[in-house]
A and B are shown apart, each in its own frame.
Chain A
C-alpha cells in the first residue's frame, strides 16, 4: 500500500516555504497538533514534516494516549478529536463563515446594479450573461490560480474567486426575476404616477425577490462548498483542515471538517429560506 501512495504523497505533501509562512495562523496550529495516525500498521511516510512525531505527552504536559485512544487508532469518528481540537475547529468554522459571507455580500452588491442595468438596456443583457457564463465555466482551482498574480497568497484571492462565482448565479437569477415582472403590473404602476426609480424600488425589485433569493441561496451554498478549495492558498476555512488531514492521513479531522462544511451549507440555506419567507409574505398569502 505505501507504494501506491508515494507518488501522490511526494507531490501533495511538499509545501513551499512561502505558502507556509503566509498561512501562519492556522499553519502554526496545525503543526502543533499532536496526533498519531496509524501507530502500528504503516511505516512513517517520507516528507511528513507536517505531522509531529507521536509522543505520549501533550503540549500541556499531561501524559495521555492510552493504546485504545480513538485518536491513536485513527478512527473516522472520534470524540477525543472534538474535545482536544475544539479551538482549531472553531477558528476554521469562523474563517469559513467570514469568507463566505464576505464573498456573497460583495457578489450581491455588484450583481444587483448589473442585473438592473442589463434589464434597463436590453443590449447589455447579452454580454453580461455571456461573461458570467464564461466565468462560471472556469473550474474553481483554475479561478483561484488565475487570480494569484493579482492578489498573491491571501484571503482576498479566495474571496475574489468566490465573488466571481456568486456574481454569475446572482445576476442570472435577479435578471430572471426582473424579467418575470408582468408588463401589466409595470404599466399599472406607471399609471399611478410611479417614476422609473420608484417603479424599480417599490414594484420591480420586490416582485423579483423570490427569484433573487433563490439565486442567493444557491450562491451561498456553492460558496460554502467551493471555499474548501481555497486550502490551496491556505485560506480555505474548513478546507484547510481537510487538506492538512489528507497530508497526515488524519481520518477524524477530514470527516469532522467535511461534515461541518455540509452543516454550514444546510444551515445557511435554511436561514436564507427563513429570511425569504419573512420578507416576501405575499408569496405565501397567495398560495394559501
Chain B
C-alpha cells in the first residue's frame, strides 16, 4: 500500500503537472493522438467498408484483417516504423502505427454491420425503386450503424492502448510517464503513470458506454 500512497503523492505534486514532460502536456498529447488518429482511421476505413459491404465484395479480407491485426505485435510495428524513413518525421511512426491498428476493427465491424442488414429490407428498398446510392445511405447505413459504432468504440480503446505502447518507441503520450519512471527506477512514478493511463482508457470506454445509453434508439439497434 505504501507504493500506492507514494504514487498518489507523485500525482499530487504540482511540479509533475507542468512542463513538457508534465502530466498536463502528456495528457493533451495522448488525447490529441487518440482523437486525431480515430478521425483519420474512420476516414480511411469506413468508406472502404461501406462500399465493400454495399457491393458484397471483399468479405474475406474485411473479416480476416482483424485477426491479422491481432497477431501482429503493436510494439514490433512501432519499432519497425521507427527504423524506416517514416521514423524521421517526429510523430510519424506513432501516427502510422495507431492508424494501422485502428483500421481493422473499424473495417470488420462496419462490413459485418452492412452485411447483416436484413436482405428482405434491402430487396424491398430495391423494389421501391431506390438507386444504389439511396439504398446505401438511407437503408443500409442507418441499419448497420449500431455495429459500426461498436467498431468505433473498439478502435478508440485500441488507440489508447497503442498510443501508450508508442512511448516504448519514443512516441508521445501518457506512456512516456511510465517509461520515464522505469528509466529513473522510480516505482511511484511508474504506478502513477499507469494509473493515469488506466483511468484515461476507462474514461474513453465510459464515454462510449454513456453515448450508447443516451443515443436515440435507431443508433442503438432499436432495441
Q: Please give the residue numbers on chain A whose beta carbons come within 8 Å of chain B beta carbons, in ascending order.
A: 1, 4-5, 7-9, 11-12, 14-19, 133-134, 137-146, 148-149, 218, 221-222, 224-226, 228-229, 231-233, 239, 242-243, 245-246, 249, 251, 254-255, 257-258, 261-262, 265-266, 269
Contacts and interface: CB of A to CB of B under 8 A. Distances in A.
Interface of B: 3-4, 67, 70-77, 79-80, 82-83, 87-90, 157, 160-162, 164-165, 167-170, 175-176, 178-185, 187, 190-191, 193-195, 197-198, 201-202, 205
Contacts of B180: 11
11 contacts: A4-B88, A137-B205, A138-B197, A139-B165, A139-B197, A141-B197, A142-B178, A142-B201, A145-B190, A231-B75, A254-B79
A9 to B, nearest CB: 8
A5 B197 CA distance: 25
Contacts of B187: 148-149
A5 B87 CA distance: 9
A218 B70 contact: yes
A249 B168 contact: no
Contacts of A233: 182
A166 B184 CA distance: 31
Nearest to B2: A149
Contacts of A9: 170
B75 A18 contact: no
Contacts of A143: 194, 198
Given A243-B168, A246-B83, A139 B201 contact: yes
B147 to A, nearest CB: 17
A145 B83 contact: no
Given A11-B183, A16-B185, A229 B75 contact: yes
Nearest to B203: A137
Contacts of A1: 88
A229 B165 contact: yes
A225 B161 contact: no
A17 B82 CA distance: 25
Contacts of B184: 16
B75 A142 contact: no
